[in-house]
Chains A and B, each alone.
Chain A
Amino acid sequence: MIAEAAPEAFDGKKFIVKNMPGGGAVVGQTYVSSAPADGYTLLAMTSSVINNSLMKDVSYDLDSFTPLALYNLDPEVIVTSAKGDLPDLKAFLAAASHGSVSIATPGNSTSHHIAALALAQQQGLDFRYVHNASAAMQLQQLMGGHVQAGFMSLGEAVGPAKDGNIRILAVMDQARSDLAPDVPTYQEVTGDDVQWGTFRGIGAPAGLPDEVEAELASRLQKVLTSPEFIERMAAAGYKVDYRDDAAFRQYLDKTATQMEQVIPLLESQS
């Protein structure tokens, strides 16, 4: 979709999209990290860049890339069954700090499992993890009231919440989302700034000349904030949330630091 909207801001030049599946995106990320830093090879970056570079035996790390622009953030939410005994975030936190709360995840080591581990570590909570094979099975357990709570992306939670099958307790973002304006942020309820989510952005290999980086970043901004692009993304169910290169880098570093704290937990539990 970016490629479709790109020619206008790039003097009619086209983006060539090369899909490189395999190894949980490792193949494509390795290719871009070792490509020449001339601004002609870009990477569609997702959260997996951080996970892969920290947890898998790969040839690159976060510093191998120059972040250029972030265009979509799907914040993490905490949900419970609509019939459940935890009506709001306060009750959830109280229950998890005095006893243990059962948490459904879509699978071991998924970003949602990691989010729950991170929160438990920061806030001293006690979670019992119920791992599933897919997000669908996780949702079914929540709706059936077999588990007390779960972690998922806001995008996944909005639909079932509207149907009244699950309840969203809090969104881990800096502000409320237009998709669920009634749901408070984690910070509003507790005062602690807890942000977590998955992202989509654009990056280039590290070592880009400064003027190339500035040029690419400003042109990408034009593409990613254009009404046509926003409209196309909305049709596919995504909300465009543009952040420039500096903000993207800051976000990446913060997320990587959070991840680094969690990884020992993930490794010790297996």
Chain B
Amino acid sequence: MDYSALWAAGLHAFSLWPLLSLCAGVALGLVVGSIPGLNDTITLAVLVPVTFAMPPDIAFPLLVGVYCSACFGGSFPAILLKIPGTASSVLTAIDGHAMVKQGKAGMALGIATYSSTFAGTLSALVLVFFAPLLAQYALKFGPAEYFSLSVLGLSTVVGMGAGNAMKSAFACLLGLLVAMIGMSPEAGFPRFTFGSFWLFEGLPLTPILIGLFGLSVVFEMLSTRAETAAGDRIDRTPIRFGDMLLSASMIKRLLPTWLSASALGNLIGILPGAGMLVAIYLAYERVRRRFGERCGQGLPEGVAAPEAANNSVVASSMVPLLSLGIPGNSTSALFLGALLIQGLRPGPGLFEASPDVAYLIVICFVIANLMMFPLGLLLARLVPNLIRAIPQPLLAASIACLCLTGAYAIGNSVFGVVVAVCFGGIGFVFNRLQVPLSPFILALVLAPVIERAFFQSMALSSGSFTYFVTQPLSAGMLLFTLLFLLWPLGRRYIRRRQQALAS
């Protein structure tokens, strides 16, 4: 570790232009993150070509700012409207929106801001000091480990959806089924494509998300207006800064949740592909096991855990890119493009070949996360009051407009809009039947990972199933999966024993 280069880059980051562009990036990220249908990937895809002409010390702070804060921005609509702005805030919506219904909107937004800043800064520091170490650990994950990790992630759905395991399992299976559409990853055989060219690559994830969460809410608004003009009015008292600042006792209460969620985010978030969502779901699962039924009904920890986890994943997903030159997701692949165009090649040599830019990037991660705090509070002060000032019909129309535009923009085709509208209908029906949506999303994302990892493992082991158990890391994760699955049964058994003893 070259501390003098780190120090020099730190000083440089605090000079006028880098700081200004970082600030602009964070603000932009918050805004696009909070708009359903827009996300960090789209924003970076637009911004990266623009940055070609900029010097690196302006280009990278801007990109880092957007990348860091978009994920946090997604929590605003998740909490206020139950529409996750990004896939990473799907779980934040559950407890966050429940808190809004209890009139604790300010506190929910405050918790999201505190959790995001705390965990984001922590993982940015981890990125600064331990990136090479973590990168070596990420390389240990082979096909068997990916398989077991994804299975572990899927096992968290058992407890989701307020204790109704059947409905969760149903949503999960449906997600797996939808994920089957498209070419099979191993054999290239088209499944459920009905000869249509559009279905060959499978259904695109983002339009599905937009439909399930965005359009379904619009449909909901339309139907409630028809039935009861003013069914559940959320209270319209404006949010003040005071509501959002957390008391010392609350911070003390949430601290363990933050720490465990960011540990999960840092360790699992590094893994490309499956890491992000699995880390968030596991963090939420921990809270759910601790608080049981209260989770999902406006529990502060239910907001803190997913928000802390998703923001720590943001910085840790940069670890493989900066230390190994391997982009972990589509967003960091765009980042890779930006680095290459500036004549920098990510990998172990980056910190030696161009320490000024490399250290500037990691330091920008730290500063961007700190900046998120005041900017986030400011936005949280403005946006909810703005949303409440808009009459319901106009709000529904503008959400629908944003959703459909976003669905179109992703592939520049009407196909995305069709997918979004179809899944809008499915999401509406799910909500009416009280089937949770989060297991569906998790299954949809993990199904291809599981399938690919399974066939890769089979190719490597020449078809032997024991491969999953003979790899120590993989075996450990499968053991945890078993524990997760048996936990509810075991708890019921213990409780019955206790009752029997008591009577």
On A, residues with C-beta under 8 Å from B are 23, 100, 102, 107-109, 128-133, 136-137, 139-141, 143-147, 159-160, 162-165, 237, 269-270
Contacts and interface: CB of A to CB of B under 8 A. Distances in A.
B459 A163 contact: no
B345 A146 contact: no
Interface in B453-471: 455-456, 459-460, 462
A144 B141 contact: yes
A132 B324 CA distance: 18
A136 B333 contact: yes
B326 A140 contact: yes
27 contacts: A23-B197, A108-B183, A108-B185, A108-B187, A108-B188, A128-B462, A130-B456, A131-B452, A132-B452, A132-B456, A133-B185, A133-B448, A136-B326, A136-B328, A139-B325, A143-B139, A143-B326, A144-B140, A146-B143, A147-B460, A159-B325, A160-B325, A163-B325, A163-B347, A165-B348, A237-B340, A270-B189
B288 to A, nearest CB: 31
Nearest to B471: A146
Given A131-B455, A132-B452, A136-B327, A160 B139 contact: no
B459 A128 contact: yes
B235 interface: no
Interface in B427-459: 448, 452, 455-456, 459
A133 B447 CA distance: 13
A140 B324 contact: yes
A270 B187 contact: yes
Contacts of A165: 324, 347-348
Interface residues of B, number: 34
B272 interface: yes
Contacts of B272: 136-137, 140
B269 to A, nearest CB: 15
Contacts of A237: 340
Contacts of A100: 462
Contacts of A130: 143, 456, 459-460
Interface in B314-328: 320, 324-328
A125 B390 CA distance: 68
B455 to A, nearest CB: 7
Contacts of B452: 131-133
A128 B452 CA distance: 14
A144 B142 contact: yes
A101 to B, nearest CB: 11
Contacts of A129: 459
B186 interface: yes
A141 B142 contact: yes
B292 interface: no
Interface string B124-148: 0000000000000011111100000
B349 interface: yes
Interface of B: 138-143, 183, 185-189, 197, 272-273, 320, 324-328, 333, 340, 345, 347-349, 448, 452, 455-456, 459-460, 462
Nearest to B135: A143
Contacts of B140: 144
Contact of B188 (A128, A136, A146, A270): A270
A160 B459 contact: no
The 3 closest A-B pairs by CB, nearest first: A146-B142, A144-B139, A108-B188
Contacts of B455: 131
Given A23-B197, A136-B272, A140-B272, A131 B348 contact: no
Q: Give the residue among A131, A145, A165, A269 with the most B Cβ atoms within 10 A.
A: A131
A147 B142 CA distance: 9
A160 B349 CA distance: 10
Contacts of B188: 108-109, 270
A8 B325 CA distance: 39
A159 B320 contact: no
Contact of A140 (B187, B320, B333, B349): B320
Contact of B186 (A131, A137, A139, A160): A131
Contact of A108 (B186, B197, B328, B333): B186
Contacts of A109: 188
Nearest to A270: B187
Nearest to B143: A146
Contacts of A23: 197
Nearest to A104: B456
A165 B456 CA distance: 21
Q: Give the residue among A136, A159, A269 with the most B Cβ atoms within 10 A.
A: A136
A213 B448 CA distance: 48
A146 B273 contact: no
Nearest to B328: A136
B20 to A, nearest CB: 29
Given A130-B143, A146-B142, A139 B326 contact: yes
Nearest to A158: B345
Nearest to B271: A140
A128 B460 contact: yes
A7 B348 CA distance: 42
Contacts of A140: 138-139, 272, 320, 324, 326
Given A139-B326, A140-B326, 5 more contacts: A128-B462, A130-B456, A130-B460, A137-B273, A140-B139
A134 to B, nearest CB: 8
Contacts of B139: 140, 143-145
B199 to A, nearest CB: 14
A160 B140 CA distance: 17
A107 B183 CA distance: 11
Nearest to A144: B139
A163 B185 contact: no
A193 B320 CA distance: 37
A48 to B, nearest CB: 15
Contacts of B456: 130-132
A114 B388 CA distance: 58
Contacts of A136: 272, 326-328, 333
Contacts of B324: 140, 143, 165
Q: Give the residue among B185, B189, B326, B462 with the most A Cβ atoms within 10 A.
A: B326
A146 B325 CA distance: 18
A157 B330 CA distance: 20
Contacts of A133: 185, 273, 448, 452
A191 B140 CA distance: 37
A266 to B, nearest CB: 8
A141 B340 CA distance: 22
A237 B189 CA distance: 35
Contacts of B320: 140
Nearest to A237: B340
A102 B459 contact: yes
B412 to A, nearest CB: 9
A159 B345 contact: yes
Given A136-B272, A140-B324, A163 B142 contact: no
